[in-house]
Each structure stands twice: as structure tokens, then as C-alpha cells.
């Protein structure tokens, strides 16, 4: 359903330390990911997530599900928001898109950051 939280991303300085911390705290499982700076895909009982390195002091990124990325990006702009990245976060590699879907970082009309996530086909 559009609008529900469908993915989260943790930006950290050192992904391996984050893996140890969050696995110990919540029991999450981690698989090597494709993020720059090293990273992991995170499996949780709720929404899936990821962790990437080289981003010290960053807060969590929350991504809301959309059914069609192009339509959602156009609507963000129409409503006075901005799209931070003109390309999908993580690039346009078809294998990565098939595994994780499409992502866009945005700001609402007051400057608050959020993300859009179009999950892979069939999910």
C-alpha cells in the first residue's frame, strides 16, 4: 500500500560496528550489501533496511512506499517539495533494482527530508 514505511537506511561511519551494535540490540540479521563505503542489507521482523558507511553523524533515512516512482517524484515537485537525487539512490544497475527496488531522497515543502521507495516487482 502506498505511503507505508517500506525501507529504512542507517548512515554510519563504520558499517561493521553498526552491524555488531544493531544485531546485539535487536537481533537483526545482516547480509553484505552493495552500498558505497561498505554496507549491509538488514532483515528485521518489520520493514527491511540497510546500513552504509562513510556517513558519520547521519540520522536514519525513512522511505515511504510508492507504486510508481516517476509519478511520485512529479507529485513531490507539484506540491512544492524537492527531489535531492535526480537518479535512483544506489544507481541504475538492473540487478540492484530487481533486488532492492528504486529509491529517491526528497524534501517536503518545508525542507523536511524523507525518501520514496518503489519496491521490486512482485513485492
80/111 Cα distance (integer angstroms): 10
* Residue 71: per-residue pLDDT: 93
Query: Given a cut of 70, is residue 37 above it in pLDDT?
Result: no
* Per-residue cell: 41: 542489507
* Residue 35: per-residue pLDDT: 56
* Residue 68: per-residue pLDDT: 92
97/44 Cα distance (integer angstroms): 20
- Give all domains of the chain, ordered by start, each with its CATH number: 5-118 (3.10.180.10)
Q: Which of 24, 74, 65, 30 is nearest to 50 (CA)?
A: 30
| Phi, psi torsion values for 29, nearest 5 degrees | -105, 150
48/5 Cα distance (integer angstroms): 10
- Give the pairing of strands 102-107 and 82-83: antiparallel
Query: Given a cut of 90, is residue 28 above it in pLDDT?
Result: yes
Rounded to two decimals, the pTM is 0.74
Q: What angle do CA 91, 60, 44 make, to 5 degrees?
A: 85
pLDDT digits (tens, 9 = 90+) for 43-100: 998 889 998 888 777 778 889 999 999 999 999 999 999 998 655 555 567 777 787 8
Amino acid at each position: 500500500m502506498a505511503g507505508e514505511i517500506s525501507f529504512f537506511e542507517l548512515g554510519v561511519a563504520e558499517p561493521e560496528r553498526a552491524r555488531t551494535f544493531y544485531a546485539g540490540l535487536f537481533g537483526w540479521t545482516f547480509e553484505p550489501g552493495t552500498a558505497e563505503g561498505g554496507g549491509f542489507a538488514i532483515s528485521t521482523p518489520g520493514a527491511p533496511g540497510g546500513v552504509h558507511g562513510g556517513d558519520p553523524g547521519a540520522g536514519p533515512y525513512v522511505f515511504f512506499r510508492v507504486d510508481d516512482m516517476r509519478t511520485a517524484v512529479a507529485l513531490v515537485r507539484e506540491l512544492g517539495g524537492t527531489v535531492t537525487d535526480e537518479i535512483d539512490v544506489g544507481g541504475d544497475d538492473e540487478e540492484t533494482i530487481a533486488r532492492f527496488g528504486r529509491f529517491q531522497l526528497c524534501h517536503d515543502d518545508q525542507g523536511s527530508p524523507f525518501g520514496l521507495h518503489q519496491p521490486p516487482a512482485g513485492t
